Amino acid sequence: MATRYEMEMIDSAARAHQAFEEELHGEKLIVNMGPSHPSTHGVFRMVLELDGEEITNCWPEIGFLHRGDEKIAENMTYTQFIPYTDRLDYLAPLANNVAYAYAVEKLCGIDVPVRCKYIRVICAELARISSHLLGIGAMSMDIGAMTVFLYTFKQRELIYDLCETICGARLTTSYTRIGGLANDMPESFIPMCRKFIADLPATIDETDKLLTRNKIFIERNKDIAVLSREDAINYGATGPILRGSGVEHDLRKANPYGGYENFQFDIPTGTVGDCMDRYLVRMEEMRQSIRIIQQALDSMPGGEWNAPEAKIVLPEKQAVLTKMEELIHHFINVTQGINAPVGEVYFGAENPKGELGFYIVSKGGGTPHRLKIRAPSFVNLQLVPLLCKGHMMSDTVAILGSLDFVMGECDR
Amino acid sequence: MQVQRPKLTFWERTYIPQILKGMWITIRHLPMKKFTRMYPEEKPKLLGDYRGAPTLVKDPEGRVKCVSCQLCEFVCPPKAIRITPGFRADQAFDSNVEKEPKEFEIDMLRCIYCGYCEEVCPEEAIFLKNDFAITGYKREELRFNKQKLLELGGVQPDSIWKWKYKGAPPPGTPIGPVRDGKPVEKKAAGH
């Protein structure tokens, strides 16, 4: 039986025209913001309906950066998809790698050694710091405080140096593998990382001094885009946006994965749910991330960093070069991929932007039948029309800055 | 844990202390060591095992290490590698190697420097070197062929002596085709 669906897909230009025809009562003005506006952090377009300076309606437009990552995943092995996860939230590639690896490991039902978990924790927290430094820097720059951006970017550069040390690439890290890591953490990484987390609080304090008690910054952010607790939950917001609205929900605590249960840290929450709260939550999260990294470095266990799964993890190179069985395993693991069991699995990880989830449907074999990416930015951007209404045109930059989205992940 | 929302005092609401504080922080940054790098003149120091341009390497005896098993071609996520397998020109008896690539092409415009080719190579024939700023005027220039890749790769000593000996070769071993210590005649070429 054939079923016919009729879908109406209006592009934003047509929608702007429609709004012009229908709702333009002499005074209202339609403004296209983006897709290449400096405050939209990528290619994001908003059609704003203005009554004077006040926004009366807003239609966000996404999809300018669509690459079809989910479809690409269906055509390659699980391991081959790891470089594509770098390009989801490209401000925190390491955290994406970690989330994806845990998702596939959950599908296969394997556990990774403690050392691997700890290294992944350090990677994910470094990514969180990097993402929040950019989020705060870019937000304050959009509002008008240029200096903070320069200071936070200096620290981000040092995080990129750490990424380069640990995996050989600054942005496209591709560090994790299914059941382990691409390589062990090098020895030189630990002193570098210790020095970095010792120096970072100074920059956070400087940012704090420049912004938190700054009257102009407060007035640009206070009581702007207030998101109530109920709305935050109903819209499925996650990450600092949800916590800024006062919901104490963090997957690292609510559903501990990857050794997070071994670390002491607090979940910062806001009270009002405005842009200021979201900024304060991000500031505090960076401090908590430093705490986690400190603990992970102090209690870093030795030993293996790959799971003892010969059918999943690639054998050691030296063994591949000298032994026949390992060579055969190597070829089979690369060409056929891991032999994943039939089933469906969802894994959500607490990424800097919120809950990054991978929903994998497997029909067995080395490639996923379907791989759905629950991108936090995509869900959080739903809030834009809700938050923008009733505010001034110039508040949109503060709102977008406080939502801290990434279009690479939203459009995927 | 709830974050503390700032409550401004009257003095802070005048904005004067913020201006002074901001000035003080900025001035303190002035005498600091310059962090910016003058990039094209001043090259960055690469840290760790940097994943730069993929290259093909030869062993110390000048033989192409690649045996064209095409595993890198298979694993390459953006499909940047094209290999045309072929047989070695002279059927040397100094090794168990029969094949080498007739043509090996890496499209540097497609390459994403993920390092999977290096990771999967069972012969340690492909290495990611430190070159990171690869430019060209034409697309053809950036389609690196076998000759170019070997040129970039240079010589890489074997971590194990895989082809003939177990362990390091004995000192004074002749380089030419040898079997049981005697030079052997070349077999007729072709299969």
Alpha helical stretches, state H, A24-108: 69-74, 82-86, 93-108
Q: Is A327 in CB contact (< 8 Å) with chain B? A: yes
**How does DSSP assign A97-131, residue by residue?**
HHHHHHHHHHHHT----HHHHHHHHHHHHHHHHHH
The answer on pLDDT for B172 being more than 90 is no
Contact state of A81 with B77 under an 8 Å Cβ cutoff: yes
pLDDT band at B136 (very low <50, low <70, confident <90, very high): confident
A-B interface: how many C-beta pairs under 8 angstroms? 124
Give the residue from chain B lying closest to A267, CA to CA.
Answer: B1
Give the residue from chain B lying closest to A281, CA to CA.
Answer: B3
Sorted by sequence, the CB contacts under 8 Å of residue A76 that are 6+ apart come out as: A367, B77
More confident residue, B89 or A290: A290
Share of chain B above pLDDT 90, in %: 2
pLDDT in tens, B26-46: 898 889 888 888 888 888 888
Q: Partners of B54 in the beta sheet? A: B128
**How does DSSP assign B8-24, residue by residue?**
--HHHHTSHHHHHHHHH
Contact state of B12 with A212 under an 8 Å Cβ cutoff: no
Global pTM value? 0.85
More confident residue, B60 or A89: A89
Tell me what the mean pLDDT of segment B17-24 comes to.
87
Residues of chain B with C-beta less than 8 angstroms from the C-beta of A280 = 3-5
Give the residue from chain A lying closest to B132, CA to CA.
Answer: A169
To which H or E segment does residue B178 belong?
strand B178-179
Cis status, amide bond into A35, omega within 30 of 0: yes
How are the residues of chain B apportioned to helix, strand and coil, as percentages rounded to the nearest 5?
Answer: 20, 15, 65
Q: Identify the CA nearest to A363 among candidates A335, A338, A336, A341.
A: A341
The answer on pLDDT for B170 being more than 50 is yes
CA distance B30 to A376: 39
* Least trusted range by pLDDT, from A386-390, B6-10, B91-95: B91-95
Q: How far is B51 from chain A (nearest CA, A)?
A: 5
Q: Is B128 in CB contact (< 8 Å) with chain A? A: yes
Q: How far is B17 from chain A (nearest CA, A)?
A: 9
Residues of chain B with C-beta less than 8 angstroms from the C-beta of A168 = 48-51, 115, 128
Tell me what pLDDT residue B178 has. 45
Say what angle helices A114-143 and A93-108 make with each other, to 10 degrees. Answer: 140
Contact state of A84 with B119 under an 8 Å Cβ cutoff: no
Q: Partners of B87 in the beta sheet? A: B99
Contact state of A269 with B49 under an 8 Å Cβ cutoff: no
Q: How far is B77 from chain A (nearest CA, A)?
A: 6
pLDDT band at B160 (very low <50, low <70, confident <90, very high): low
Helix (H, G, I), strand (E, B) or coil at B102: strand
More confident residue, A225 or B186: A225
- Assess contact for A401 and A274: CB atoms under 8 A: no
Q: How far is B184 from chain A (nearest CA, A)?
A: 26
Q: Identify the CA nearest to A241 among candidates A374, A96, A402.
A: A402
Q: Compute the Cα dihedral for A271, A275, A281, A284 and give only its sign.
A: negative
Distances (CA, A) of B44 to A154, A192, A313, B39: 15, 17, 34, 7
Q: How far is B142 from chain A (nearest CA, A)?
A: 21
Tell me what pLDDT residue A308 has. 84
Tell me what the mean pLDDT of segment B146-169 comes to.
68
Q: Is B161 in CB contact (< 8 Å) with chain A? A: no
CA distance B169 to A286: 55
Q: Per-residue pLDDT for chain A (412 aa), expressed as one digit of tens each?
A: 566 666 666 677 777 777 666 665 567 788 888 777 766 677 888 888 888 888 888 888 888 888 888 999 998 889 899 999 998 888 889 999 999 999 999 998 898 899 999 999 999 999 999 999 998 998 888 888 888 888 899 899 999 999 999 888 888 888 998 888 888 888 888 999 999 999 899 989 888 888 888 888 888 888 888 888 898 999 989 989 999 898 888 888 888 888 888 898 999 998 888 889 999 999 999 999 999 999 999 988 888 888 888 888 888 877 787 778 888 888 888 888 888 889 899 999 999 998 999 999 998 888 899 999 999 999 998 888 888 888 888 888 888 888 888 888 888 8
Residues of chain B with C-beta less than 8 angstroms from the C-beta of A277 = 3, 5
- Assess contact for B104 and B74: CB atoms under 8 A: no
Task: State whether ipTM is beyond 0.85.
Answer: no
CA distance A384 to A225: 9
The answer on pLDDT for B101 being more than 70 is yes
Q: Is B71 in CB contact (< 8 Å) with chain A? A: yes
Alpha helical stretches, state H, B14-96: 16-29, 71-75
Q: How far is B124 from chain A (nearest CA, A)?
A: 9
Q: Is A167 in CB contact (< 8 Å) with chain B? A: yes
Question: Considering CB atoms only, which of A266, A269, A334 is closest to B71?
Answer: A334
Tell me what pLDDT residue B130 has. 84
CA distance B59 to B162: 11
Contact state of B21 with A210 under an 8 Å Cβ cutoff: yes
**How does DSSP assign A312-378, residue by residue?**
TSPPPHHHHHH-HHHHHHHHHHHHT---EEEEEEEEEEEETTEEEEEEEEEEEESS-SEEEEE-HHH
Chain B interface test: which of A213, A279, A328 (most B C-beta within 10 Å): A213
How many C-alpha atoms does A296 have within 13 Å on its Cβ side?
29
φ/ψ region of A389 (left if φ > 0, alpha if ψ in -120 to 50, else beta) reads beta
